[in-house]
Amino acid sequence: MIVTLIVVCEVGFWVLLAAGLATRYLLKMPRTGIALLLCEPLLEVLLLVVTAIDLKNGADPSWKHGLAALYIGYTVGHGHRTVKWLDGHAAHRFGGAPRPPKPPRYGMARARHEGKVWLGSVTAAAVASGLLLLAALYVGDDGNTDSLYGWIFVAWRAAGIHGLIALSYAIWPKKAPEGAASAVPARDPEHVPDLLVRRPSKDEEQV
């Protein structure tokens, strides 16, 4: 039942997201669209309540309850960024807004971006750990809580691996390819890349 509900919540997340964006930009009903987007956290609340009821009714804690906690944590840590990214592209495609800027690809700017994304993973691990600890306390000494504590390790291991990947961008910054045009405007024509300046022809040089 828990696994089925996780699948339903995942599908419901994307359905509500698509419906909210379509209502906001295609139907020109921004308030209704925002209301639909705000309904998405209710899916996580529903999953949390059903998980608690399942444990209360005597179900043994298992990987299913741990997976539910990780799903809720991921939604809290990364859901807002996902919605914001899609909303920016929908606003550009259907609302006439400027194209959202792409994430930086090179240098320390890329490292800072990866660090911010990693903080989302830390938030996800913290939320999942809190829920798992509450579930373990709720079950008490009468039930087997080893699987719940095991998922806490899984959550922080994933956050740790993600942190090492993000740190690698700071230790070994990715360099921009050679020959990339500079974003700083040149003051003299001789400072402008050859591709951007038309060289005079031989006839023009003889004149």
Lookup: tokens for 179: 């020959």
* Higher pLDDT, residue 145 or 155: 155
CB neighbours (10 Å) of residue 83? 17
3-state secondary structure (DSSP) of residue 95: coil
Q: How far is CA 139 from CA 51, 66, 134, 144, 154, in A?
A: 12, 13, 9, 8, 20
Question: Of 59, 51, 38, 40, whose CA–CA distance to 5 is shortest?
Answer: 51
- Please tell me the least confidently modeled range out of 25-29, 45-49, 168-172, 200-204: 200-204
Residue 140 Cα distances to 6, 35, 77, 134, angstroms: 25, 39, 28, 10
Tokens found for residue 25: 């930009």
What is the pLDDT at residue 199? Answer: 46
Between CA 88 and CA 140 the distance in angstroms is 45
Percent of residues, the chain, with pLDDT higher than 70: 84
Q: What is the mean pLDDT of the chain?
A: 83
